[in-house]
Structure 1
Amino acid sequence: MSNAYEASGVNIEQGYEAVERMKKHIDRTKRQEVMSQVGGFGGLFSLASHSYKEPVLVSGTDGVGTKILLAQQAGILNTVGIDCVAMCVNDVLAQGAEPLFFLDYLAVGHNDPSQIEQLVAGVAEGCVQAGAALIGGETAEMPDLYAKDEFDLAGFCVGIADKSALLDRQGVKEGDILIGLPSSGVHSNGFSLVRKIFFKDHQWSFDQCLSDGTKLIDALLTPTKIYVKDLMPLVKQGLIHGMAHITGGGFYENVPRMFNEDLCAHVQVTSWEKPLIFSTMQELGNIPEEEMYQVFNMGVGMVIAVAPENVDTVLASLPQAVKLGHMTRKTTTEQANIVLNFTEVEA
């Protein structure tokens, strides 16, 4: 048999091996609705067992961004798959939908079955954390597009909700209380700035430690937190009026996405403790505080709006969450839909 394709840089046999290595990780994500096996032309997922009156499918797609460059350079490959899933399922969750299944797209310069297994193992772990099935994907070996050690990872998620239970801009009301759920760190946004600060401007090494002793690479590659299992029960109980996933654009861009233009979110930024990684970056980069909240999550990965009478119930279910602020009617003097208060409020 001719080896012309291999001579061009694509190894079919290694592709087969990579698929075999994936199977045990994919099996961890199985749900009863999955109808297909790995290797088909499409993933099959049955909705017959769901009893929604007006079912709506909610989809989201994303990648890992330039955080993936650090994973490549550090040789730490089993966490960015969690990031990829998290960026998608948290967006779907923000609409009030339960994630059902996920598909990934992995592009590599060289098909190394061991490397691919680690990446897909991360994707599978993210799916397990989200309760979503990994029902398919694609691995593309493209030696002319990527260098031998380069890869990229993206994917998409599909979730489901009853039409009446969707979280949209109409749900958040004047007087609602804003509650924040802690992030696990930088998550997967702002890494072009992260890399510039630490590695271009200050030449930090991966093993250099923050002031608390944490290695820099460990702090930066901590996977994005997945909030599905914490928040979905509250969504189904009707206790959440709105939800904002704090991703690219930080607080200023994402919080206003969950309510109408006639409202304004007031956030007291001294109400929670910021992870050390953010103050370290701010100091090294000499970044204004307002800009930090425009780029990063600053320690809060998800913001939810809750009716005042339900706050105690919600906080009891989310022991690490904190009250961040409240919703008001937007006044004629307010130009923006969010106001961040940076001064300490007296008790």
Structure 2
Amino acid sequence: MTDDFTSSYAAAGVDTAAGDLAVELMKSAVSATHGPNVFGGVGGFAGLFDVSFLKNFKRPLLATSTDGVGTKVAIAQALDKHDTIGQDLVGMVVDDIIVVGATPLFMTDYIACGRVVPSRIAEIVAGIAQACSATGTALVGGETAEHPGLLGPDDYDVAGAAVGAVEAEAMLGAHLVQDGDVVVAMESSGLHSNGFSLVRHILASRDMGYTDRSDDLGGIVGEVLLEPTRLYTAVLLRVLPSGGVHALSHVTGGGIAANLARVLPVGSWVQVERSSWSPPPVFRVLSALAGSTLESAEGTWNLGIGMIAVVSPESAGRIMAALTADGIHSWQIGRVHTAVRDLTGFAQGAKGINGGAVRLIGAFAD
């Protein structure tokens, strides 16, 4: 009876044996992220993480974040290239944890697919595990769900959630930001994982395929677009203990102004100087293909800035030097002001947060 039922389940499109093989293929990559605080290994109903060290905190706060990669997965599927999507997922999730000053502890992932292809699932999870290792995050569990009839055989989507911890008095945010603070940009690696619905629309309107070569982009279109999201957590964890960082903003959906406004106090404002950087070619080429300006994309793409730090004036030089020495190019893009002024034309808060006000001014550098 069991074999008959299993055969029927397989006939319905769900291959439990393939799922088991996928777990076996990903086991070593996942286990490599486990330190002494991880209990139970791979395959349990729940991941276990020893947090007894939190007893040494005066007031421990847990930070949590969840996200996906969005329609960037459509490009990975079109190219049958799945080794970078995992880093994108970790970047979207774990780099939100560091924004409040928290150290990431552990992460879980979820992959929904139309058909389990063990090697493909293992490739995705290996990318997640490698990025987790790079950020000091344990990958303690996950789920792969086969949804035949709902998703096409080669379709999938990925999502994840992470938990971190921070001492309450060390938490970063708008409450620390002061008049005169320096706003420091950190270079992105490209589009990261936002605005890909627009990217795909632009390419489709120009009949450009992901396997086409673009001299303007400098390579195969899809491969350029799949450049993985830059990870900032490990570098920032080395920078934060020396002090001077008051707030961080992860530039994701909504662009530079809206995301920076979220971490500024009400009544403060920043004018971001476009002339302080030159957006990379991928943004310029896509804007040109759309027949629009870079400025019109400011609410969608990061335009070359993946993370922003608001820092004290006396620490700005030291922090930028430390970031650059650690492989993250950084530069000043503005200052925080609190003097009363007309804020017409500024982005003021976002995602339900009534924060500060930000606008971009001037022209981008060539």
With the length of structure 1 as denominator, give the TM-score of the two structures.
Answer: 0.96
* Maintained 8 Å contact 1:86/1:225: yes
Report matched runs for 1:202-241 at 5 Å: 202-211=207-216, 213-241=218-246
Question: For the structure 1 residues 271 and 108, does the alpha-carbon distance in structure 2 shift closer, same or farther, using more than 3 Å as the test?
Answer: same
Partner of 1:84: 89
Match of 2:360 in 1: 340
Is the counterpart of residue 12 in structure 1 residue 21 in structure 2? no
1:327 to 322, 336, 348: 336
1:55-89 Cα distance to aligned partner (Å, 9 max, x none): 11100000000001110111011111111111001
Aligned residues of 1:31 and 1:132 also touching (Cα < 8 A) = no
**Post-superposition shift, 1:14?**
1.1
CA distance in 1: counterparts of 2:281 and 2:14, whole angstroms: 44
Alignment match, 1:192: 197
2:39 to 11, 19, 35: 35
Q: 1:261 to 1:22 in 2, by over 3 A?
A: same
* CA distance in 1: counterparts of 2:170 and 2:291, whole angstroms: 44
Q: Partner of 1:153 in structure 2?
A: 158
Q: Which moved more, 1:136-145 or 1:321-330?
A: 321-330
1:164 to 164, 169, 175: 169
Question: Aligned to 2:63, what secondary structure does the other structure show?
Answer: strand
Where does structure 2 lack aligned partners over 5 or more consecutive residues? 347-356
* Cα 1:233/1:295, change in 2 over 3 Å: same
Quote how far apart the aligned CAs of 1:49 are. 2.9
Query: Match for residue 242 of structure 1?
Result: 247
Question: 1:205 Cα shift?
Answer: 4.2
Q: Report the more deviating stretch, 279-288 or 183-192.
A: 279-288
Match of 2:302 in 1: 297
Q: What is the distance in 2 between the residues matched to 1:104 and 1:212?
A: 32
Once residues 33 and 125 of structure 1 are traced to their aligned partners in structure 2, the CA distance between those partners, rounded to angstroms, is 18
Q: How many corresponding residue pairs?
A: 345
Deviation per CA, 1:268-327, whole angstroms, max 9, x where unpaired?
Answer: 112123210000011111223332111110001000001100011101201111111111
Distance 2:106 2:77 in 1: 27
1:52, 1:22 → 2: CA distance?
A: 35
User: 2-side partners of 1:234 and 1:290: how far apart?
Assistant: 32
Q: Which moved more, 1:198-207 or 1:177-186?
A: 198-207
Q: Which amino acid aligns with 1:17?
A: L
Match of 1:117 in 2: 122
Gaps of 5+ in 1: none
Contact conserved, 1:210 with 1:216, CA < 8 A, in 2?
A: no
Q: Partners in 2 of 1:330 and 1:246 — Cα distance?
A: 26
The correspondence of residues 95-110 of structure 1 with structure 2, limited to 5 A, is 95-110=100-115
Q: Is the 8 A contact 1:241 1:304 kept in 2?
A: yes
Report the TM-score, using the length of structure 2 for normalisation. 0.91
Letter of the structure 2 residue corresponding to residue 324 of structure 1:
I
The answer on whether the counterparts of 1:199 and 1:205 sit within 8 Å (CA) in structure 2 is no
The answer to whether the Cα contact below 8 Å between 2:278 and 2:364 also exists between their aligned partners in 1 is no
Q: CA offset at residue 131 of structure 1?
A: 0.9
Query: How far has the Cα of 1:34 moved from its partner?
Result: 0.7
Moved more, 166-175 or 212-221: 212-221
Q: Which amino acid aligns with 1:115?
A: R
Distance 1:205 1:100 in 2: 36
Residue 68 (1) aligns with residue 73 (2): yes
Q: Deviations 1:144-180 (Å, cap 9, x if unpaired)?
A: 2111010010000101100111112211111000111
Q: Which residues of 2 match residues 246-261 of structure 1 at below 5 A?
A: 246-261=251-266
Could you say what the CA RMSD is over the residues aligned between the two structures, in angstroms? Answer: 1.5
Task: Give the whole-Å Cα distance in 1 for the aligned partners of 2:342 and 2:116.
Answer: 58
Cα deviation, residue 237, structure 1: 2.6
Cα distance in 2 for residues equivalent to 1:218 and 1:200: 19
How far apart are the structure 1 equivalents of 2:207 and 2:333?
A: 33
